[in-house]
Each structure stands twice: as structure tokens, then as C-alpha cells.
Amino acid sequence: MKKIRIGSRDSALAVAQTQLVIDRIKVLCPELVVELVTMKTIGDKILHKGLHEIGGKGLFVKELDEALLNGQVDYTVHSLKDLPMEVNPDLPVMAYFEREDPRDVLVLPQSYQDGDRPFDRVGSSSLRRKLQLKKLFPEAEFSLARGNIVTRLRKLDKGEYSALILAAAGLKRLGLEQRINRYFSVEEMLPPAGQGILAIQGRKGEEEAFLSKLDCPDSRDAATAERSFVGALNGGCSSPVAALAQLYGQEIKLSGLYYNEASEAFSVSSLIGERGKAYQIGQCLAEKMKKEWNGIK
């Protein structure tokens, strides 16, 4: 029987997500033997600083990319939102797994009682989340929150934070949906591009047939539109840029958040277009928002 090795970060969430992919492969291709290979990335080790201070999202993929290039693993699984906008052309994304709930959520301590102040120490290292939450709750104050979900929840329950803003997808995939106190609508809190989508990377020219069975067309089209938008704005880890594509039959509604550093303000806008032009929609929305900020009609 043929054996394939799939690489993953060693956090509980990363392993759970990779296991979803492995389980699907075993159903689709029972003749394959699948091995999980875990490793810790630099981004998992340095937790006392924000990602923009230590090199950005690439710190979550560097070791896994190296493992792919040197043949230590055959494929890797990532949360798409953690992939840099510019992916190594020798390590393309070969499949986009079906999307989980892309929304952000509010999580409160298990001891929370009515009358407590939930927004006096919000745990978040994301400027995107801070900007949007401040608009909803002007009194909100923030503390740096890094580390895996389980660690953050433990710190929350110990009183280090009064609330956390997390991705619904991660909590659901870890079986922790009961910790969610409130879902933010996409109008209230636009998520980062790719949130809820899993990306399977491999070595260029070594695609295997089972990958087409893993690939979700909805996820691929949404990912294409969202990442096109963010890429056109030069959005990286430190840039508070966000995007969400919603699919309606053969149409895509792409909503994007653009931050203007000069005025220290942001806006959200959207564009509807043909699903088959997902990449172009992302480019057009980015151009539209830049022109709006520059006062060009």
C-alpha cells in the first residue's frame, strides 16, 4: 500500500484540522496509508510579541515548507488565513478543503456574570479585530493574546483577560463551540481572508488524483477572491485588511476592509460579480476602495 506523510503544526487545533483532511483521504482513498507528521514553528515558539513584530504569518509555515522541500513530508495542511499572500511557486496550494464558519466570536470567562465588564481587557493581537471592536464598543481596551486556543482559554478563565475574540472555525473544530458567547455578524466584524478554509500544499508537479476529490470549488473561488483583494492592497500580517466572499449561485459578493494609514481610519465596501471572475473581483474591489479613499470618483 502506498504511504503519504502529511505535515502539520503541533498545536491541538492544527492537528485536529489536519486530522479532518486525513480522515477524508482515508474515506476517499482507502488504499492509501496516511501518516501525520507534526512540528513546531517559530510562530508557535515566540509568544510574547505580536506577529507583525517578529516577521508575519510566514513564521507559521517556514518549517513546514522546508519539510516539504526536503521530502520529509509529502503534503502540508494550513489554515489558509496563516499562509502568506505570496506562496512559494514550488509549493502550490493543491486543494482547498470545505469551509467552516468564517465568523469571529466573543468568548467570556466561564465565571462571567451579568454586570461584569467584558471589554476592559480584551485578549487580541489583531489590529483588524481591534479596529472593528472599537467601533462596536468604544470603551474596549486590549491586551496581547498569543498562543494556541486552549492556552488562551485557560488564561481567560484565570482572569488574565475579560474576553477573547476568536475564530468560530477553530472552536468548532476543537469541539469547543459551547464556549462561544456571541457570534459577530460579518457586518460587525469582517474576518481575515481565508478564515475557516484549510489549504493543502504539495510539491509542484507531484499532484495526485485524490487531491481533486479533496478540493472544494466553493472554498477555492472564495479563497481566490479574498486573497486577490488582500494581495492587491499589499496586505500582510500587520496590515488590518480583511475580506469575505459569499457565494450565491453563480455570483460572488466580496466584502473588504481597507485601512488608510494616513488617516488611521478604515472602511468596508463590497462588490458583486460573476463567480468565474473571482480573481478580477478581488482586484476591482481593491482598486475601488483605494480610489474612494483618494477622493477619485
Q: Which of 3, 22, 8 is nearest to 214 (CA)?
A: 22
Q: What is the mean pLDDT of residues 259-283?
A: 89
Burial string for 80-111 (b: 16+ CB within 10 Å, else e) reads: bbbbbbebeeebebbbbbebbbbbbbbbbbee
Ranges of CATH 3.40.190.10 domains, the chain: 1-99+197-215, 104-183
**DSSP one-letter code for 205:** T
What pLDDT was estimated at residue 261? 72
- Given strand 32-39, what is the order of strands in its sheet? 32-39, 2-9, 75-79, 198-202, 93-96
Burial string for 135-171 (b: 16+ CB within 10 Å, else e) reads: eeeeebebeebbbbbeebbebbbeeebbbbbbbbbbb
SS3 237: coil
**How far is C-alpha 87 from the chain's CA centre?**
15
Grade residue 184 by pLDDT with cuts at 50, 70 and 90. very high
Q: Where are the alpha helices (DSSP H) in 193-295?
A: 210-214, 217-232, 278-293
Please write the tens of the pLDDT for every residue from 23-33. Answer: 999 999 999 99
Percent of the chain with pLDDT over 70: 90
Which class is 104-183 in CATH?
A: alpha beta
The pTM (predicted TM-score) of the whole model is 0.90
Percent of the chain with pLDDT over 90: 73
- Yes or no: is domain 216-292 CATH 3.30.160.40? yes
Provide CATH code, domain 1-99+197-215.
3.40.190.10
Cell representation of residue 205: 508537479
Q: Which of 127, 53, 58, 65 is nearest to 86 (CA)?
A: 58
Cell representation of residue 56: 508575519
Report the 10 Å Cβ neighbour count for 295: 6
Q: Point out the catalytic residue in the list 82, 101, 104, 221.
A: 82
Question: Which stretch, 45-54, 130-139, 255-264, has highest mean pLDDT?
Answer: 130-139
Please write the tens of the pLDDT for every residue from 117-171. Answer: 899 999 998 889 999 999 999 999 999 987 889 999 999 999 999 999 999 999 9
Q: Which of 131, 162, 120, 166 is nearest to 147 (CA)?
A: 166
What pLDDT was estimated at residue 116? 83
Report the 10 Å Cβ neighbour count for 282: 28
Amino acid letter at 80?
L
User: Catalytic: 82?
Assistant: yes
Q: What is the mean pLDDT of residues 41-57?
A: 49
